[in-house]
Structure 1
Amino acid sequence: MSSITEKSSPIVDAAENDSERAQPKETIGEQVPSPEPVRQKWYEWFAPTDTPEERRLILKLDGLIIVFVFLAYWAKVLDSSATSTAYVSGMKEDLKLYGNQLNYLNTVYYVGFIVLQIPLTLLMTRCPVNYFLPAADLLWGVFTLAQYKVSNVTQLYALRFFVGALGGFFFPAVQWYLGSWYKRSELSRRGAIFFIASQIGSMSSGYIQAGAYDRLNGRFGIEGWRWLYIICFGCTVPIAFLGLCLLPSTPDKCNSRFLTSYEICLAQERMASEHRETRQPFTRSKIIAILKGWRLWVLVGFAFFFSQADGVSQNSGLSLWLKAEGYSVGNIDTITTVSPAVTIIASVVCAVFSDVYDAKASLIAITAGLNIFASIVLAIWNVPNGLKFFAFFLSGTADGIAAVVYAWANEICAHSAEERAIVIMDAPRYLIGYNWVIALDVCMLIMLAVLHHFWIREKRLGRA
């Protein structure tokens, strides 16, 4: 007899619980709010209420999902930085790129990023995610490799468009995917591990690409800048095949070779206990309901200010200032890795506090305050160098709340897989001035108050 029949089936239990929840309450004319999860301590990986079977399932999911998305995001950052590195490593002269053509290459990349982000993200919700994500990764690698063969800038424009399109949906797609498997008390930590990959990628890309250029320039008659794209392809494709082998689909349509039938049923029960709805037909009435609801507009408005308010850490102000101060290239490369390191620490701290104390709003507000302080110091500029360094490094905390923001969006939109996909879509980043960052952070705090008001109201009415 199988393990499913030896133990009470999680699906049956979930159905019975749903049946009990569906019984009308005589004294209450509204839905019963879902209970808050029992949260683990900061040093614990599992909640006290997790059964041994749940703990084994969680560890399996971490090995199957988190390992892949971490490596894939690291490779994405490595690939994304290749063009800027190639430009200063000989591509400019070989392809006769002059004037604003590097800016045009970045613009074309973002056009593909923006135009196809929504269609590809929604298409992902209709397809088996365990094939869709690795297949997109594989295509990304192929288009990245093709850039090493270009002979003129027009070919590069076309390839950069498709690279941007295939990269644009990856971040929101993964956040949606994590929200399909993990509970609200588990999401922030996993999201932080995923996000940290981008910081490690930005810290390591310069060293990897510089080493590859120094050792491979001219090998087999191939210029060093072209080798950069070959190296990126070599990193990306094995990871894509790893995803094809490991990734399970979503719990509602899962046939993973690494998960037993009992574990799949257990995963479905876990999501049912979170009121995390499975994928439904994308009908006209559903689209209208999403557009009429507050979640889309409030969350997207908040996400816009959040995604733009990290301009201090995203722009090149620190490296430009260090260069103007006469620092060597080696010192600049070393010093500029401090900001990503700060982001990694902030991400871990925020994720742990979010999962343990459910302090999402407080963490976002504190981080915005730190970023405002850093921006004020840098806007004044005429301050001691020590304070200037502190402000640059402090701004690295801005991205530390990324996992918290997306975990909260997954929780708020738990009732609709399609709405989660639309709301979680990531916004492109722009290089902006310090005064503008201050304004954006203030607007983000205002939107945070609005978002918190609506979410508390939903929980009070039992709709959460």
Structure 2
Amino acid sequence: MSEKVAIAAEKALSPKSETQEVSPPARQKWYEWFAPTDTPAERRLILKLDGLIIVFVFLAYWAKVLDSSATSTAYVSGMKEDLSLYGNQLNYLQTVYMVGFITMQIPLTLLMTRCPVNYFLPAADLLWGVFTLAQYKANNVTQLYALRFFVGALGGFFFPAVQWYLGSWYKSSELSRRGAIFFIASQVGSMSSGYIQAGAYARLDGRYGIEGWRWLYIICFACTIPIALLGLCLLPSTPDTCTSRFLSADEIRLAQERMASENREARQPFTRAKVWEILKSWRLWVLVTFAFFFSQADGVSSNSGLSLWLKAEGYSVEGINTITTVSPAVTIVASVVCAVLSDVYDAKASLIAVTALLNIFACIVLAIWNVPVGLKFFAFFLSGTADGIAAIIYAWANEICSHSAEERAIVISAMNTIGNTFGAWIPLFVWKTVDAPRYLIGYNWTIALDVCMLVMLAVLVQFWAREKKRSLA
């Protein structure tokens, strides 16, 4: 070894002097897809995962949103008369759907953690498509009740299951953006479903002797099956059991190392002691309570306040359908902005707080009601930001519960289940149709929810900071 090389090696190995300045690590730019610390091998792996996982979950979630509105559309497109649906039977159909949706979320998400995910998710999607198709053959409401239960059960667990699955492959600094892309599928679905269903009914009603409302379910099935087959071909399982034909052994090993660097534990056997440990943990109760307030705080956009106000103001049907697409567009923009800022700056708490404050301002304006028309439009549109933090909340849950795959599954599914459980009946008392379009109780209720969410945010930050400090000790 030459003298120069020896000296250089000695300097490299010697401890840095106290006066020597250490340059801070390069920070990822908001427009960059990869972190500066990602190696070329990591970047290739991330791009592969995006193509294998994100494409499927986006398309599958989009297809499920089509079905969520298909029954309401079918009801007013001939199903009511053909099946003699009267009274509250449409409400009962929605109730049965929600029963399946809510009761099976946690069990099916936990079951998925025991099975190969690359088969479980697409298989559930295939079954969901079959039960969706079967609705077109229904001849009475009793058959529809049974089918709607299974459609709700097989579709309801998809959101928490995918959030858990993403947390099995992506780092904390990557999760929010992927979660946002997945969540955006629901907004794209809500924007496109009306046009797809209207066009299908207009062109297919009576074709081959099939009523137009029955074609709506056939279309949902036709969209779902190719997506499910795509998932069977592409999806990898979790890194600890992955045998994907598209990932090399080195890439699978790299994925395992990436998760290990995040303290993201692989799946372990379920034991009574583990379940008890999860149930008594602060993580379950604080995150689920926080998710309850968040899940109810989007009431302005989810209870048709804007469309009913526009109708009362005399806007045409075409005008109402066009203007109301702005709200989901705002949600999409907010989701992307929050996800990028969350991943780049790790600003989850700040983004949640700002979003809550924006929603409070929007609801104060709407509660006052007698304000300039432009300000009222602005408030309605601004309320679309309420759902923009969904991806970062579930990304945060993945990060907080990273030490246990089983806890991640229980906490994430419980967060979503509790939100949907209360969302199924609270609107009946808070967002009463007789109060439309000025939902005074609803707007004030949303303000209270956002205030409580800010309080729980402070509690969550405190507990999480204490846990991180304890892990470093």
1:111 partner SS: helix
Identity among equivalent positions (%) equals: 86
State the distance in 2 between where 1:111 and 1:390 align: 36
**1:258-292 Cα shifts (integer Å, max 9, x gaps):** 00000000000000000000000010000010011
Report the aligned-residue RMSD. Answer: 1.3
**1:50-70 Cα shifts (integer Å, max 9, x gaps):** 110000000000000000000
Q: Does 1:453 align with 2:462?
A: yes
2:31 partner SS: coil
Q: Which piece of structure 1 moves more, 39-48 or 357-366?
A: 39-48
Q: Which piece of structure 1 moves more, 449-458 or 420-429?
A: 420-429
State the distance in 1 between where 2:134 and 2:472 align: 49
Q: Which of 396, 400, 406 is the matching residue for 1:418?
A: 406
State the distance in 1 between where 2:166 and 2:209 align: 44
In structure 2, the residue matched to 1:354 is 342
**1:316-351 Cα shifts (integer Å, max 9, x gaps):** 111111112111111111111000000000000000
**1:86-137 Cα shifts (integer Å, max 9, x gaps):** 1111111111111211111111111111111111011011000111111111
Q: Which of 379, 382, 386 is the matching residue for 2:370?
A: 382
**Structure 1 gap ranges (5+):** 1-35
State the distance in 1 between where 2:25 and 2:94 align: 44
State the distance in 1 between where 2:392 and 2:242 align: 27
In structure 1, the residue matched to 2:396 is 408
Give, as a single letter, the amino acid of the residue that structure 2 aligns with 1:65. I
Q: Does 1:267 align with 2:255?
A: yes
- What displacement does 1:463 show? 6.1
Which stretches of structure 1, 4 residues or more, deviate above 6 A after TM superposition? none
State the distance in 2 between where 1:448 and 1:397 align: 17
State the distance in 1 between where 2:309 and 2:93 align: 25
- What displacement does 1:194 show? 0.5
- What displacement does 1:374 show? 1.1
In structure 2, the residue matched to 1:242 is 230
User: Aligned runs of 1:253-402 on 2, under 5 Å?
Assistant: 253-402=241-390
Give, as a single letter, the amino acid of the residue that structure 2 aligns with 1:339. S
2:471 partner SS: coil
- What displacement does 1:37 show? 9.5
State the distance in 1 between where 2:472 and 2:265 align: 13
Do the aligned partners of 1:39 and 1:355 also contact (CA within 8 Å) in 2?
no
- Bigger relative CO (Cα 8 Å, ≥ 6 apart): 1
Do the aligned partners of 1:37 and 1:185 also contact (CA within 8 Å) in 2?
no
**1:24-71 Cα shifts (integer Å, max 9, x gaps):** xxxxxxxxxxxx997521011001111100000000000000000000
Give, as a single letter, the amino acid of the residue that structure 2 aligns with 1:454. F
In structure 1, the residue matched to 2:134 is 146
In structure 1, the residue matched to 2:436 is none
State the distance in 1 between where 2:286 and 2:331 align: 26
Aligned in 2, Cα 1:463/1:86: closer, same or farther, shift over 3 Å?
Answer: farther
Give, as a single letter, the amino acid of the residue that structure 1 aligns with 2:168. S
What TM-score comes out, normalization by structure 2 length? 0.89
Give, as a single letter, the amino acid of the residue that structure 1 aligns with 2:99. V
Aligned in 2, Cα 1:93/1:39: closer, same or farther, shift over 3 Å?
Answer: farther
State the distance in 1 between where 2:208 and 2:371 align: 52
1:304 partner SS: helix
Give, as a single letter, the amino acid of the residue that structure 2 aligns with 1:143. F
Do the aligned partners of 1:305 and 1:443 also contact (CA within 8 Å) in 2?
yes
In structure 2, the residue matched to 1:162 is 150
In structure 1, the residue matched to 2:87 is 99
Q: Which piece of structure 1 moves more, 393-402 or 315-324?
A: 315-324
- What displacement does 1:224 show? 0.4
In structure 2, the residue matched to 1:125 is 113
In structure 2, the residue matched to 1:59 is 47
Do the aligned partners of 1:39 and 1:185 also contact (CA within 8 Å) in 2?
no
State the distance in 2 between where 1:329 and 1:72 align: 30
